[in-house]
Amino acid sequence: MTWFLLGMAALAIAAVVRLVVPWRAGRPASLALVLAGCAAAGGTALRVLAGGPGVEWSFPTTLPGGPWLLRLDPLAAWFVVPIVIVGACGALFGSGTFARERRSGRVATTEAMMPILLGAMALVVTAQAVVPFLIAWETMAIAGLLLILHEGERVEVRRSALVYLVATHAATLALVAMFALWGSQSPDLTFPSLQASLRARPEWCLLVLPLGLLGFGIKAGMIPLHSWLPGAHSSAPSHVSAVLSGVMIKTGIYGLLRITLMAERVPAWWGWLLLGGGLLSGVLGVLWALAQHDLKRLLAYHSVENIGIILIGMGAGALGTASGQPLLAVLGYGGALLHTLNHALFKSLLFLGSGAVVHATGTREIDSLGGLARRMPWTWATFLIASVAIVGLPPLNGFVSEWTIAQALLAGSEGPASLRVLAISLAGLGLIGALALACFTKVDGVIFLGQPRSESARAAQEAGRGQRVPLVLVSALCLGIGLAPGVALAPALRVVASTAAVSSPPPAGALEPILAGALSVTGLGVALLSIIGLLVLVRRLLLARGRITIDSTWACGYPAVTSRMQYTAASFAAPLLGMFGAASGIVIERKARTVHTRPVDLVLDRAARPLWDRLQHAAGRLRWMQSGRLHWYLLYVLATLAILLGYLAAGGIR
């Protein structure tokens, strides 16, 4: 724990150094401190995951709520690892992006907030008492807000930040309500006491869990609570988006897991609720991603989709706990944990890659890009790895977690008849995968291949070395987990086994074939890559010197081909979106000579905003009360007082 706390201290000092010490010396010193802090915290977490003792630190306090407890148990350690990996890579990438930035004041704030955000997230997952948890939670939210506001001079950034602020505080409100109700049943506000009280009275799950789903669900960005996410994550600088999308939304997943595991035997409806929410988020998230024209908004919607996949796994796991099926519980939660890690890696890689693209071209419009593969080969190679990973295809890490979750869904068929229905969810996974493939062939094909669609894309230059290093590092991790799934799968299953998710271990020999299967996945990946290598070699032999002619693309004999004649991302997605009708969130604007499609967020633009407008309109009818004269307001105060006194006199509070 000492090393972990030293790491947190290093992060805090890094923020101070960045703000206080002048530009030249402050930047490298601060960056070095961030990296050292991440290394220290990550090292401790890895030791816990490798089977070392969980470490605990208690701080006696006179504040209500009992001692402040921090504990790095296996579950917390599992979340700390992606936080420090993505955090360190994001900070590295950011310092490369900001190297030539002019507005040094704004940059200093942004760079100082990054370690604060990382430290707060690490404390969120290690806090074992309500007060430090909520302090860390709010610090994380505010640091996130300041990071999103980096380009606060743009009006759409300010608007997204406002939506984010409202959403995150709604989440905190729900959590405060949850902890207040829950704490009324327990002697103090430490998690162990809360856990004991919930286990003593399982009927309180009916209150605690839905409030938790509201609070943590908003943070995780599950549909229909996701509306803040696309705007906020696309407005932030890309390396910040990588941290927000890669790990910050995972604190919501962490919270859901924590409260689910604190209830000893969760009710079955909770499992079905998570599963249903997961399927909804997964399918609609990827469908709405496909409809986007803005690269970073598209990636943000994909986070919603992947949160859905994680929730599917968690739902299966909760059903396993509820029905006493240890194999289902272990595989479901294990798959969810694994996908949390994998998504943190490939999503941060995608956002960092999009950062390189935006940095090089100055635009996020997919249809103004094109042909970047030849101009930015490193970015293209790493972006392609991340794309194949997010679609869930072998031999990359996304496949491993979807493989685990799919097995969980089938493991349900060994239990009671009602759990056989779980197998249907496989179709949901298939649909999500197919839509993700459509979305990422669109992104890869239109942005990186073909001809540039604008002058800025034509003039694009490869990212600098400071940006390439984190890109390559994270790609190596994606490929590593994809080729050797055992290194991540075995610890994930151990983490689940260490929790209360399974009252008894799975039947002997049930997990061995799956861990052995991880070895076969290695075999498959190696076979695949070697066959590709072999075929490329054969191709090179067949097409020896002089047998490849480089020429322009055939266009039915028309010589003056321009880049405008290429297929656009909008037309690529149109037929598929058309099949889903109004659910696809696309508005088609036809004019005399042009057709434009515009994506809308069905929840924010079609439900929340109109509802808000109605509320405002209704509130307008009470405007006569606000006369602006002091004596009227005094009268209101007096009247309120009288009503409250009357309530007390009638015996309102016993």
**Choice from 513, 610, 646, 652 touching other proteins (CB under 8 A):** 513
Nearest CB to other proteins, comparing residues 117 and 406: 406
The answer to whether residue 437 forms part of the interface with other proteins (CB under 8 A) is yes
Among 154, 374, 598, 614, binds other proteins (CB under 8 A): 374
Cis amide leading into 470 (omega within 30): no
List the one residue from 187, 430, 505, 610 that touches other proteins (CB under 8 A). 430
Contact between 285 and other proteins (CB under 8 A)?
no
Smallest distance from the beta carbon of 549 to other proteins, in angstroms? Answer: 5
The reply to whether 486 sits near other proteins by the rule CB under 8 A is no
Q: Can you tell me the distance from the alpha carbon of 640 to that of 558, in angstroms, rounded to the nearest whole number?
A: 81
User: Is there binding between residue 445 and other proteins (CB under 8 A)?
Assistant: yes
User: How far, CA to CA in Å, does 467 sit from each of 53, 131, 148?
Assistant: 36, 38, 20
Q: Among 242, 283, 250, 332, which residue's Cα sits nearest to residue 76? A: 250
Q: Which of 229, 448, 470, 497 binds other proteins (CB under 8 A)?
A: 448
Q: In what helix (H) or strand (E) does residue 401 lie, and over which residues does it extend?
A: helix 397-411
Closest CA to 145 of 126, 166, 124: 166
Closer residue to other proteins (CB): 31 or 479: 479
Q: How many chain residues bind other proteins (CB under 8 A)? A: 89
Among the residue ranges 42-50, 260-268, 442-450, 593-601, the one whose residues contact other proteins (CB under 8 A): 442-450
566 sits near other proteins (criterion: CB under 8 A): yes
Asked whether 25 and 78 are in contact (CB, 8 A), the reply is no
Told to check if 371 binds other proteins by CB under 8 A, we report: yes
Tell me: does residue 427 bind other proteins (CB under 8 A): yes
| 3-state DSSP assignment of residue 294 | strand
Q: Give the residue among 348, 291, 320, 264 at the shortest CA–CA distance from 93.
A: 348
For residue 560, state whether it binds other proteins (rule: CB under 8 A). no
- 415 forms part of the interface with other proteins (CB under 8 A): no
| Residue 20 binding other proteins, by CB under 8 A | no
Stretch that binds other proteins, among 170-178, 247-255, 541-549, 615-623 (CB under 8 A): 541-549
Q: Rule CB under 8 A: is residue 455 a binding residue for other proteins?
A: no
- Please choose, from the candidates 646, 507, 513, 609, the residue with its C-alpha nearest in 3D space to the C-alpha of residue 228: 609
Tokens, residue 535:
């075929």
Stretch touching other proteins by CB under 8 A, among 195-203, 316-324, 516-524, 595-603:
516-524
Closest CB to other proteins among residues 451, 456: 451
Which one among 42, 94, 237, 428 touches other proteins, defined by CB under 8 A? 428
List 540, 596, 598, 606, residue binding other proteins (CB under 8 A): 540
CB of 504 to other proteins, least distance (A): 21
Q: Under 8 Å CB-to-CB from 513, ≥6 apart: which residues?
A: none
Answer for which of 20, 532, 588, 634 binds other proteins (CB under 8 A) is 532
- The reply to whether 550 sits near other proteins by the rule CB under 8 A is yes
The pair of three-digit structure tokens given for residue 582, joined into one six-digit string: 């109004």
Question: What does the DSSP 8-state code read for residue 552?
Answer: P
| Look-up of token digits 């669109």 | 442
Q: Which is nearer to other proteins, 65 or 445 (CB)?
A: 445
91 vs 290, beta carbon nearer other proteins: 290
Q: Residue 387: name the closest of 436, 335, 328 by CA.
A: 436
For the segment 195-224, give every residue that binds other proteins (CB under 8 A): none
Return d(Cα 176, Cα 211) in angstroms, integer: 9
- Rounded to a whole number of angstroms, the CA Rg of the chain reads 26
Q: What gap in Å lies between CA 166 and CA 327, rounded to an integer? A: 40
- Contact between 554 and other proteins per CB under 8 A: yes
Euclidean distance between CA atoms 288 and 295, whole angstroms: 12
Quote the least distance from Cβ 68 to other proteins, whole Å: 43
Give min distance, CB of 305 to other proteins, in A: 14
**Of residues 576-605, those binding other proteins (CB under 8 A):** 576, 579
Alpha-carbon distance of 355 to 361, in angstroms, equals 10
> What's the CA gap between 292 and 366, in Å, rounded?
9
Shortest distance (Å) from residue 286 CB to other proteins:
10
Token pair of 253 as six digits: 């997943």
The distance from CA 423 to its chain's CA centroid, rounded to whole angstroms, is 26
d(CA 638, CA 636) in angstroms, rounded, equals 5
In the complex with other proteins, the residue whose CB is nearer, 154 or 539, is 539
Of the residues 203, 455, 551, 589, which one makes contact with other proteins according to CB under 8 A: 551
Asked if 323 touches other proteins (CB under 8 A), the answer is no
CA 125 – CA 81 distance, rounded (Å): 11
